Structure formats: C-alpha cells, structure tokens
C-alpha cells in the first residue's frame, strides 16, 4: 500500500503568494520542553532524530515549517538542520514573545520587532522569512492598535526581509483587525474550540490567509470509542474554505505518517 502524501494538495495562503502544504510542521518540541501544554511529557529530540523528522515531512509533501523565538532553541537548531534546503520550505516565525530561563515575556515595540526579525534571519541562516506572525499575549487589540508592531512588520516586508506578516491571537476582534491590515491570521480552531470561526469566515470572504494552531487541541482531543480524533479534526478544519494549513507539532514519526495520510484522505474526499 502506498502512503498518501500532500505533494499535489498544496494551496495558496490567502493573497501572500505563498503556496503551502495543508499540514505544517510545528517545531516547539525541537527547542522547548518547559511550560508547554501537552498531555504527555516528551524529550527534545537530538539532531539526528530532528533531521530524520524533517526529511520525512518533506518526503510526504509538507513544505511549511512553524517556529518562533518563544520556542526555546528551535530557530537556532533549524538553521543548520535546513542548510541547503531553503528553497524547499515556507518558513513561518514570530515576534513579540521571548522565552528565557523558563519564563515568557512580551515586547511588541517596533525596535524589538526589528531586532527580533534580524535575529531570526541569522538563526535560521536565511535572507528572508516567508511569514512573520505577532505572538500575541492575549491583549490583541492593544497589541495591534498601540504597539507599532504591524507598522514595523510592514516596513520589513517592504525591505524584502519578510514576504508576509500577520497575527497569532486569541480573540475574534484581534483576528478580524489583524486580517484587515495584514496578510494572515493564525487561529485556534478544533473540535473543542470554534469560537474564532468568524475570523475564518472573514478570511474566506476577503482572500486572506488562515493557519490553524491547536488543530488537534494540543493532543487533548477525545471522542467516543471508534472515532479517529485526527480524522474528525481534519474533517472539521478542511471543510472551511479559508483554512490553508494546520500546524501540527509532532516529533513522533508514526503520528506524522498518520496525520499526513489522514489529511490527504479527508481533503481528497471533500474535493
């Protein structure tokens, strides 16, 4: 039996010009094991395991990789791990949240935004980042209206250092404002939480990009016996026309294969 892949299911991310796989690889587990909300503990994989995981993802048609300064050493590790493969990946990173000595802190100022992107470029060993999202602290409207972070990202886009920008927020109001003025929103949407659906609806109506975070409720989805939670989750996500890609942060090769095969089957059935 041939494993289903995502190679022929890539789609546009709104109007960014980026073409992405319907699943993206989240890399928080490559760099951070403190203060993360997963049901089971895990060990940060070594370089060999990480390299194998990235190769598997690429071979199965995943071209979107999601990282952030707040993901511990994730960006620093990805730079060397992706050497010679830059053209194969759409890289998403973030600004606004830092994680040091086990603690998160936030800074959305234009100065910090620029410094953060310049640092990410160095860490990732690249001349540009495809998409940079604001890592909101939950005060979405204040971040967007008062901090100057979006203006700083717009300047960086004009300079060619990033190709698109958007917002990873926690409220409907934040998501809507983020899409009006930016390229993309990363939204929580899963079988347990669908409160941000109006953001998806707006994106579909206005040709904006949507990435899904917590697609599998960070591994917490539980359904009645006999129902595959991954399949049920992807059915919900991919039936919405705004959803370009769901970020799934697994470091388990078997989970990765299952996620890809399930997503491919669901999307083909819905087409």
User: Per residue in 197-208, pLDDT tens?
Assistant: 999 999 999 999
Query: Per-residue pLDDT averaged across 207-231, rounded?
Result: 85
- Rounded to whole angstroms, how far apart are CA atoms 129 and 62? 17
- In this structure, of 30-44, 92-106, 220-234, the range with the lowest mean pLDDT score is 30-44
39, pLDDT greater than 70:
no
Residue predicted with more confidence, 9 or 36: 9
The answer to whether the CB of 26 falls within 8 A of the CB of 37 is no
Q: How confident is the model at residue 42, as a pLDDT?
A: 81
Mean pLDDT across the chain:
94
**Band (147; pLDDT cuts 50, 70, 90):** very high
Q: Give the model confidence (pLDDT) of 73-126 as tens digits.
A: 999 999 999 999 999 999 999 999 999 988 999 999 999 999 999 999 999 999
Nearest in space to 245 (alpha carbons), one of 135, 78, 91: 91
**DSSP-derived secondary structure for 80-95:** HHTTT-GGG-EEEEEE
Q: Which residues pair with 165 in a beta bridge?
A: 132
- In this structure, of 38-42, 151-155, 167-171, the range with the lowest mean pLDDT score is 38-42
This prediction's pTM: 0.95
Nearest in space to 168 (alpha carbons), one of 89, 250, 103, 97: 97
Query: Per-residue pLDDT averaged across 218-238, rounded?
Result: 84
How many residues make up the chain in this entry?
271
Q: How confident is the model at residue 271, as a pLDDT?
A: 85
Instruction: Name residue, tokens 């830059």.
Output: 86
Q: Check 38, 71, 150, 189 and give the catalytic one.
A: 71
User: Quick check: is 189 catalytic?
Assistant: no
Q: How many Cα atoms are found within 13 Å in the side-chain-facing hemisphere of 263?
A: 29
What is the three-class DSSP state of 245?
strand
Count Cβ atoms within 10 A of the Cβ of residue 146 and give its class: 0-12 exposed, 13-18 middle, 19 or more buried: exposed
The answer to whether the CB of 213 falls within 8 A of the CB of 185 is no
């Amino acid at each position: 039996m041939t494993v289903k892949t995502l190679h022929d299911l890539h789609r546009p991310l709104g109007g960014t010009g980026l073409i992405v796989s319907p699943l993206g690889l989240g890399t928080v587990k490559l760099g951070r094991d403190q203060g993360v909300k997963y049901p089971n503990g895990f060990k940060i994989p070594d370089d060999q395991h990480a390299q194998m995981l990235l190769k598997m993802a690429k071979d199965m048609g995943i071209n979107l990789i999601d990282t952030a300064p707040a993901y511990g050493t994730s960006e620093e590790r990805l730079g060397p791990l992706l050497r010679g493969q830059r053209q194969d990946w759409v890289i998403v990173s973030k600004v606004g949240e830092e994680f040091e000595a086990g603690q998160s802190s936030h800074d959305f100022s234009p100065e910090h935004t620029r410094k953060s992107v310049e640092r990410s470029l160095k860490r990732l060993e690249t001349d540009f980042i495809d998409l940079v999202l604001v890592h909101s602290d939950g005060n979405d409207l204040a971040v967007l209206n008062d901090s100057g972070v979006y203006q700083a990202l717009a300047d960086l886009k004009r300079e060619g250092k990033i190709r698109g920008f958007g917002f990873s927020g926690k409220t409907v109001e934040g998501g809507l404002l983020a899409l009006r003025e930016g390229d993309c929103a990363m939204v929580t949407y899963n079988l347990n939480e669908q409160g941000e659906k109006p953001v998806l609806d707006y994106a579909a109506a206005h040709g904006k990009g949507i990435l899904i975070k917590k697609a599998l409720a960070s591994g917490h989805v539980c359904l009645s016996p006999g129902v595959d939670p991954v399949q049920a989750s992807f059915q919900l996500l991919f039936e919405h026309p705004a959803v370009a890609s769901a970020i799934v942060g697994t470091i388990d090769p078997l989970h990765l294969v299952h996620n890809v095969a399930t997503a491919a089957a669901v999307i083909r059935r819905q087409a």
